[in-house]
C-alpha cells in the first residue's frame, strides 16, 4: 500500500467544549474521542501530522498570569511564552492519548510533539489592525486601566453588556521554521504533533536573530502552510459540522459536498461562508490546493470512518 501524507487540524471542540469546566479529565476524554477517529486514516495508509487549536487553554494561561501577578507578585510571561506553554501541555496530552489509542489497536508507531516556531513579517498589515481576541473578559474600567498600564488594545466582545477582551494581531504565516524536521519524522512513519495554536510567531531581525511580537496566528492557516511546506497530499480540518454549508443556518442552507477550486472561490467572494468561523477554514483549504495540495476535507472527526463523508475541495472534479 502506497503511503499518503496528511495534515489533520483539530478544532477547539476536539479538546475542550464550550459548556465544560475544562478539567483535565474532560480534555483527555475529548481528545481520546477525537483521536480515535484518526485510526481509520492510519489503517488506510496515511502518515499523519496533527495540529491543534489552543484558544481556551492559552486564555486560561493568561488569566493565571494576571492572578499570579496580582496576588503573589509573580512576573507575568509574554504571549509567545504562553503560546509555547499551551503547545507543550496540549501536545503532551494529545501524544499520551494517541499512544494509548495505538496500543489499544495494536499499531506500532512512534508519536512525537514539537514546539513549533512560525515565521511572520514584522510589518504585516495585521499589526495595524489587531483583531484576534484572547484572554478573559474585562469590564470597561478594568480594560481602560490595563490599556493604560500595559498598552494593551481592547475591543468589545460584541455581546450586550459583554465587556471587553484584549485583541492582538493575527499575521499571515510565512514559513514553518522546523518544517524539514517535521517532514523527515513523518515520512519515516512517525505521528508528529506540531504547529499547535498556529505556532509561535517569530521574525528574523537584521542580524539574523529570531525575535517575537505579541500576536496569534490562525491555526487553520498555519496548518495549511505546514501541509504545503512538507508537500502533504491532503489537508483535513476537523470541526463540529460534517459538511460545508452554503448559507449556514438560513432557510436557503445547502450542503456542499464536492467543490472545485474555482467554484469555492466564487462562493467565498459571494459571502457564502460565515465570517470568522467557516470562512478562515475555506481560505486555508484553498491556499493548500492552490499551492499543489491534492485534496482538502472539512468534516467532523466522527465521519472519518466513512470516507464518503465530509466536504472535499480539489482543483477539479477529476478524482470523482
Is this model's pTM higher than 0.75 or not?
Answer: yes
Which pLDDT value is given to residue 78? 95
- CA atoms within a 13 Å half-sphere pointing along the CA-CB vector of 172: 8
Which pLDDT value is given to residue 205? 98
pLDDT range class, residue 317, cuts 50, 70, 90: low
The candidate with the shortest Cα–Cα distance to 51, out of 99, 107, 94, is 94
Query: Cell 460565515 belongs to which residue?
Result: 274
The residues that are catalytic are 12-13, 132, 219, 281
Which pLDDT value is given to residue 52? 97
CATH architecture for segment(s) 4-117+179-314? 3-Layer(aba) Sandwich (3.40)
What is the mean predicted confidence (pLDDT) over 3-29? 90
The answer to whether 10 and 98 are in contact (CB under 8 A) is no
Tell me the pLDDT tens digit for each residue of 249-265: 788 889 999 999 999 99
Rounded CA-CA distance 218/281 in Å is: 10
pLDDT range class, residue 159, cuts 50, 70, 90: confident
pLDDT range class, residue 167, cuts 50, 70, 90: very high
Reading the block at residue 56, the C-alpha cell is: 481556551
Which pLDDT value is given to residue 318? 52
The proportion of the chain whose per-residue pLDDT surpasses 90, expressed as a percent, equals 76
The answer to whether 46 and 227 are in contact (CB under 8 A) is no
pLDDT range class, residue 319, cuts 50, 70, 90: very low
What is the mean predicted confidence (pLDDT) over 280-301? 96
Rounded CA-CA distance 267/74 in Å is: 50
Which pLDDT value is given to residue 133? 85
Tell me the pLDDT tens digit for each residue of 42-51: 999 999 999 9
Tell me the pLDDT tens digit for each residue of 169-226: 999 999 999 999 999 999 999 999 999 999 999 999 999 999 999 999 999 999 999 9
Tell me the pLDDT tens digit for each residue of 70-97: 899 999 999 999 999 999 999 999 999 9
Query: Where along the chain do its domains lie?
Result: 4-117+179-314
Rounded CA-CA distance 169/122 in Å is: 11
Which pLDDT value is given to residue 310? 86
Tell me the pLDDT tens digit for each residue of 99-155: 999 999 999 999 999 999 999 999 999 999 998 888 778 899 999 999 999 899 999
Amino acid at each position: 500500500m502506497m503511503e499518503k501524507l496528511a495534515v489533520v487540524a483539530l478544532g477547539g471542540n476536539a479538546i475542550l467544549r464550550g459548556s465544560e469546566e475544562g478539567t483535565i479529565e474532560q480534555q483527555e476524554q475529548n481528545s481520546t474521542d477525537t483521536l480515535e477517529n484518526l485510526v481509520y486514516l492510519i489503517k488506510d495508509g496515511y502518515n499523519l501530522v496533527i495540529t491543534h487549536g489552543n484558544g481556551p487553554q492559552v486564555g486560561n494561561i493568561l488569566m493565571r498570569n494576571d492572578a499570579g501577578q496580582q496576588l503573589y507578585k509573580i512576573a507575568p510571561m509574554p504571549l509567545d511564552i504562553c503560546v509555547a506553554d499551551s503547545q507543550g501541555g496540549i501536545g503532551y496530552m494529545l501524544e499520551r492519548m494517541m499512544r494509548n489509542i495505538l496500543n489499544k489497536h495494536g499499531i506500532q508507531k512512534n508519536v512525537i510533539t514539537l514546539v513549533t516556531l512560525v515565521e511572520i513579517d514584522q510589518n504585516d498589515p495585521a499589526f495595524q489592525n489587531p483583531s484576534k481576541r484572547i484572554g478573559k473578559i474585562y469590564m470597561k474600567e478594568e480594560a481602560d486601566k490595563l490599556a493604560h498600564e500595559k498598552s494593551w488594545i481592547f475591543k468589545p466582545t460584541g455581546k450586550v453588556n459583554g465587556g471587553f477582551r484584549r485583541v492582538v494581531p493575527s499575521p499571515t504565516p510565512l514559513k514553518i521554521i522546523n518544517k524539514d524536521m517535521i517532514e523527515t519524522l513523518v515520512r519515516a512513519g512517525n505521528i508528529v504533533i506540531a504547529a499547535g495554536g498556529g505556532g509561535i510567531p517569530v521574525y528574523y531581525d537584521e542580524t539574523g536573530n529570531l525575535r517575537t511580537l505579541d500576536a496569534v496566528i490562525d491555526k487553520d492557516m498555519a496548518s495549511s502552510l505546514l501541509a504545503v511546506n512538507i508537500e502533504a497530499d491532503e489537508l483535513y480540518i476537523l470541526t463540529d459540522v460534517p459538511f460545508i454549508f452554503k448559507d449556514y443556518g438560513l432557510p436557503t442552507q445547502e450542503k456542499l459536498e464536492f467543490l472545485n477550486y474555482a467554484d469555492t472561490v466564487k462562493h467565498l467572494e459571494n459571502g457564502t461562508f460565515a465570517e470568522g468561523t467557516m470562512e478562515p477554514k475555506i481560505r486555508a483549504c484553498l491556499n493548500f490546493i492552490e499551492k499543489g495540495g491534492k485534496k482538502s476535507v472539512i468534516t467532523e472527526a466522527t465521519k472519518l470512518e466513512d470516507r464518503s463523508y465530509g466536504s472535499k475541495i480539489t482543483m477539479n472534479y477529476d478524482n470523482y
